[in-house]
Amino acid sequence: MSGETDRPRILLATDFSKWALRAEEFACCLAATWRATLTVLTVLEFPPGMNPEYPVNQVYLSELMKAGAKQLAELKARASARGISLHTRIATGIPCEEVLAAVKAEDSDLVVVGTKGKSGLAHVLLGSTAERVIRTAPCPVLTVRMDRAEVSSGAAGPCEGISLNRILVPVDFSDCSLEAVEYAALMAQRHSASLTLLHVLEPVSYGLDFTLLHAGKREETRERLTTRLGDMTRALAEAKIQADSQVRGGIPFESILDSARTIPADLIVMGTHGRRGLSHALSGSVAEAVLRQSRCPVLTVRSPKYGPGHRRVLSGMSTSRSTLSPGGLP
């Protein structure tokens, strides 16, 4: 038992819709690669206003429980056929609350969810529920998207295997973004992947006061950013992780998505600010746009837990941002 407690713990939250197949695929493959303990949770949500004490509703709930248990058993059998053992949980209630309760009960190291579901937006995915999970889950959250065309064509099936070769990490040099680099480095080591560090130099409007002096200062900022990213890629190289970096101008979410397409990235890893939610650099419309529009999975990192003996790649690297101008990601 002690050996199992030392293994990473992954929680997959699923509604068993076709939209959730790729999330299932990712969770199973991550569990196999990491030699992790995998727990699968499905939440049965009562329609608003339904009183579970009424006999007719109890019958309805009983049928839901039977269907959920059957789906969990089928998933367990599929995973077992690949040599992946998993535990199952079934709950009734408000999905985001039940997901967070399961994360706490399982002491999860990672939560995996899909980005579409039976209601158009999956209960534990994008929108207010996913935002709450991402903001408050005491561990990283991986959201895995499936397009309507992929679902219609049956392009993804359960536990078919995934490939993580290129990982994109937006960096604004805040503590939370450096933590995202640390976690991305761990992912790269586990999957023999390479990293691309991206800093977006946002456009600054100087109006009629724009001068060559402003242009010169902006170029100096770009050079300082390039130097700092270079220091990080060298630190990664010392840990035997292949990495490169980019400094791009433009609207942050557009630049992140464009870089992900160009690389092409198999995963985007972004830092979060804990209780404040997504970091200022990746907050509001920026994070929402990345999560909703990214064709590849997005992993948001908050309070990651590392195993015994983990050595930080960026240990001792300053997080001071005094050298950055407002032209960088804030």
Whether residue 129 sits in one domain with residue 14: yes
> Does position 214 have pLDDT exceeding 70, yes or no?
no
Name the range with the highest mean pLDDT among 16-20, 80-84, 301-305: 80-84
We report the CATH number of the domain holding residue 67 as 3.40.50.620
Tokens of 160: 């078919």
| pTM score, whole prediction | 0.84
Across 256-265, average pLDDT: 96
Which residue did the predictor score with more confidence, 55 or 168? 168
Q: How many domains does the chain have?
A: 2
Across 46-57, average pLDDT: 76
Which residue did the predictor score with more confidence, 35 or 131? 35
> Which stretch of DSSP H or E encloses residue 102?
helix 95-106
Quick one: pLDDT at residue 194? 98
> Does position 175 have pLDDT exceeding 70, yes or no?
yes
- Dihedral sign from CA coordinates of 274, 88, 76, 66: negative
The candidate with the shortest Cα–Cα distance to 87, out of 41, 44, 20, is 41
Whether residue 93 sits in one domain with residue 220: no
Average pLDDT, the chain: 80
What's the one-letter identity of residue 55?
P
- The answer for residues whose C-beta is within 8 angstroms of residue 324's C-beta and 6 or more apart is 173, 221, 224, 225
Which residue did the predictor score with more confidence, 259 or 291? 259
Quick one: pLDDT at residue 324? 41
Residue 198 pairs in a beta bridge with 170, 246
Tokens of 85: 């053992």
Which residue did the predictor score with more confidence, 328 or 19? 19
Reported as a single tens digit per residue, the pLDDT across 103-159 is 999 999 999 988 764 443 344 444 456 667 877 889 999 998 876 555 555 555 554
Domain membership of residue 307 (yes or no) is no
Confidence tier at 34 by pLDDT (50, 70, 90): very high
> Does position 164 have pLDDT exceeding 70, yes or no?
yes
SS3 of 269, please? Answer: strand
Quick one: pLDDT at residue 57? 81
Whether residue 171 sits in one domain with residue 145: no
Confidence tier at 264 by pLDDT (50, 70, 90): very high
Across 246-272, average pLDDT: 93
Domain membership of residue 317 (yes or no) is no
Give residue 68's domain range: 2-153
Whether residue 235 sits in one domain with residue 116: no
Whether residue 297 sits in one domain with residue 243: yes
Residue 195 pairs in a beta bridge with 167, 243
What dihedral angle (degrees, nearest 10) is formed by the CA atoms of 36, 300, 328, 195? 30
Domain membership of residue 158 (yes or no) is no
**CA 119 → CA 18, 21, 55, 125, 327, distances in Å?**
12, 16, 26, 11, 40
Domain membership of residue 121 (yes or no) is yes
Report the percent of the chain where pLDDT is more than 90: 43
Whether residue 140 sits in one domain with residue 11: yes
Reported as a single tens digit per residue, the pLDDT across 291-315 is 878 989 999 998 888 877 788 888 7
Whether residue 207 sits in one domain with residue 126: no
Q: Provide the residue count of the chain.
A: 330
> Does position 100 have pLDDT exceeding 90, yes or no?
yes
